[in-house]
Chain A
Amino acid sequence: GENVEQHPSTLSVQEGDSAVIKCTYSDSASNYFPWYKQELGKRPQLIIDIRSNVGEKKDQRIAVTLNKTAKHFSLHITETQPEDSAVYFCASQPRGGYNKLIFGAGTRLAVHP
């Protein structure tokens, strides 16, 4: 079945550094790729998403890139701050409709002051 692999599982950076999280997906028909941030004990919240007709999207310090040929997409966070510390999940929306999502296993990001 459809699968999303996410790396790394943990990431530790110093405040001000950049962080990159990478995901690969298996269903070549996938067209929508959201990223969620989950703080401890809270709900997953959408932080950015990208659709297959776009190669890159930016929102302030956050950017996502998509390579459909290679079936991988990445989240880039620049100038990291302690409040960026959380678990980040990538997801892909496979064929079949109904906006179903397949999630990666998550990356625990720690930003140290």
Chain B
Amino acid sequence: NAGVTQTPKFRVLKTGQSMTLLCAQDMNHEYMYWYRQDPGMGLRLIHYSVGEGTTAKGEVPDGYNVSRLKKQNFLLGLESAAPSQTSVYFCASSPFLGDQPQHFGDGTRLSIL
């Protein structure tokens, strides 16, 4: 059972380039989340989805877009990458039942030059 799988694991971009981070979960979870993790700042929520076809803004959504066309996949896009978006990005998922933990993927380390 793979759980939450993120691709790619590492990526280097130049300022202004675009890319999409992929997240897939095989636990049939309704809810999915994208976070960024920066030193000393914990995990900050970028966007989340409460079901197929839905997305919502989190704490730090600017500069990112997301899509959830299939229940098992949640995509995070950077349209025009900026050095401030250099970070480690984590995807997580959670079941529909309340008071449940989130399960995290291994992360994507993204550097923007």
Seen from chain A, the residues whose Cβ lies within 8 Å of a Cβ on chain B are 1, 6, 9, 31-32, 34, 36, 42-46, 49, 51, 89, 93, 97-101, 103-106
Contacts and interface: CB of A to CB of B under 8 A. Distances in A.
A43 B48 contact: no
Contacts of A46: 101, 103
B13 to A, nearest CB: 20
Majority secondary structure, B binding face = loop
B82 interface: no
Interface stretch (B17-25, B60-68, B71-79, B92-100): B92-100
A46 to B, nearest CB: 5
A106 B105 CA distance: 18
Residue in B33, B99, B104, B106 whose Cβ sees the most chain A Cβ within 10 Å: B99
A32 B99 contact: yes
